[in-house]
Structure 1
Amino acid sequence: MLARMNKDAFWQLIEDCRPTEPDPEAELLAPALTERLTQCPLSLVTGFAEQLSWALYQLDRKEYGSDLSDDAFLYTCAAVVAAGRDVFESVLQDPAVFKQYATPRACSTRRTVHTSASPGRNGTATRDTPTSRAQTPRAGLTDQRSPTLADGLTSR
């Protein structure tokens, strides 16, 4: 059993649990990972969550899927991580590879964001005027440190 969940152990666990057949929605990967992690000590589960958080954080950049909704973007990031280390690293090198992992389900979740500062039809601010997500910076772009599981728990 693992003693520590570092980056190599994280990617090895993903690889060990990945099915041999295509699994674009991770319907097979998720239960396999869950089964393995339930047998691990809490420190490894927490380490896995932190490594996953860091991998998703690295993909949180405007050049990846700026035309996707927030949900579709997150689903696509998860699909890239689920595809394994080689795919993840190829996406970091070439953002065009990212779009290949946008699933039809992810792309069908387009939505608009409403802000109170958006101009209305008559030029006044209104809460009902949609703006695209691409016009607003991603939250992770301004944070210079990597997020941790604890950050997610305390920000709610």
Structure 2
Amino acid sequence: MDPVSEQYRPAMSWDRFWQLIDRLGVTEDGRVDCADLDDACEDLAATLAEEPVEQILGFGERLAEALFTLDRAEFGTLPVLGLTAPGGSPFPQSDDGFLYSRAAVVAAGRRTYESVLGHPERFAPFTDLHAEAVLHIHEEAYEQATGEECDHLTVHDYETCSNTAGWPELAR
């Protein structure tokens, strides 16, 4: 656990976060039609909008922490499944693609998420999946609940290479 996590406790428990994620209905292999996932994310945002604002923001915090934890070179340097670059070399993940693949791992649920940690070979099948809609669930829920745009910044930055412990070769 990083020092930020030790000092900050989101309003939402991990158990509640994963219960809500299970409502997305993504299979453990992460295979879901993008349109279905978009609709499921909209439905989850509507459900989450019924919760107190602290819980909505807590969901965003838990999501950011889960994505931050997966932000590691051992996952981000894997090639995209099924793609090759010109000349036949492996096709690297882009920064955004890696973020959306991490979101797909989270969307697949707690068991999949926990099984991937420390096992890059279990992350590899997610490199060609993009679950960007998951990133916006709490923002949409906040807007539905308050009528205002969500400008809350999460404690954990989940953009690619933000987890310096996960990318030690990039640490300055």
* TM-score of Structure 1 vs Structure 2, range by shorter chain: 0.5 to 0.7
Aligned length: 110
* Alignment counterpart, residue 77 of structure 1, candidates 102, 106, 109: 102
Q: Distance in 2 between matches of 1:28 and 1:79?
A: 15
Structure 2 Cα separation of the partners of residues 79 and 61 of structure 1: 15
The list of structure 1 runs, each at least 4 consecutive aligned residues, that deviate by more than 4 angstroms after superposition, is 19-22
> Where do 1:4-19 residues align within 5 Å?
4-18=11-25
Q: CA deviation at 1:23?
A: 2.0
Whose radius of gyration is greater, 1 or 2? 1
Name the TM-score, length of structure 1 as normaliser. 0.62
Q: Give the AA of the match of 2:72.
A: R
Match of 1:140 among 154, 163, 166: 163
Q: Which has the higher contact order (CA 8 A, sep 6+)?
A: 2
Map 1:4-153 onto structure 2 (within 5 A).
4-18=11-25, 22-25=31-34, 26-66=37-77, 67-103=92-128, 138-142=161-165
Unaligned runs of 5+ in 2: 1-10, 78-91, 132-159, 167-172
TM-score normalised over the length of structure 2: 0.56
Q: Residue 142 of structure 1: CA displacement?
A: 4.7
Unpaired segments ≥5 residues, structure 1: 107-136, 144-156
Partners of 1:5 and 1:48 within 8 A in 2: yes
CA shift digits 1:3-27 (9 cap, x unpaired): x511111001111342579525322
Query: Could you tell me how far apart the structure 2 residues matched to 1:22 and 1:105 are?
Result: 10
Report the alpha carbon displacement of residue 64 of structure 1 after superposing the two structures with TM: 0.2
